[in-house]
């Protein structure tokens, strides 16, 4: 059981740094605070669900899957929001609701 808990923490360490960098990039590009906060909350909820299911339950695959889906959707949405207006031609012409 201890190995599962250590692995659950390691799994968080694999995903969290890249997401924090991507959230910072989205915000530095002038991202909408509400949308960036929603993406961060989705990532956090996904990581909590996945970590709990992985570390403290034996066979709760639904919660693990839901956690990974929320994690990957948060990462994908943040990635899209940081790339959709790159390279910036003009800050007023970006049609991305996260960036501007």
In a domain? residue 90: no
Taking only the tens place, the pLDDT of each residue in 56-86 is 787 778 888 888 888 888 888 887 776 665 5
Q: How far apart are CA 76 and CA 93, in angstroms?
A: 23
In a domain? residue 70: yes
Task: Count Cβ atoms below 10 Å from residue 98 Cβ, excluding itself.
Answer: 23
Cis previous bond, 87, omega within 30:
yes
In a domain? residue 22: yes
In a domain? residue 61: yes
In a domain? residue 93: no
Ranges of H-type helices in the chain = 2-28, 33-56, 61-83
Residues in contact with 28: Cβ distance below 8 Å, sequence separation at least 6, in sequence order? none
**Total number of domains in the chain:** 1
In a domain? residue 99: no
State the pTM of this model.
Answer: 0.72
In a domain? residue 43: yes
Domain that holds residue 45: 2-83
Taking only the tens place, the pLDDT of each residue in 8-54 is 777 788 888 988 998 888 888 777 788 888 888 998 998 888 888 87
């Amino acid at each position: 059981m201890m190995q599962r808990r250590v692995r659950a923490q390691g799994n968080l360490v694999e995903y969290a740094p890249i997401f924090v960098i991507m959230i910072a990039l989205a915000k530095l590009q002038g991202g909408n605070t509400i949308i960036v906060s929603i993406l961060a909350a989705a990532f956090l909820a996904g990581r909590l669900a996945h970590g709990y299911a992985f570390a403290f339950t034996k066979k709760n695959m639904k919660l693990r899957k839901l956690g990974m889906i929320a994690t990957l959707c948060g990462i994908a949405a943040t990635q899209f929001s940081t790339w959709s207006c790159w390279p910036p031609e003009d800050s007023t012409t970006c049609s991305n609701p996260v960036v501007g």
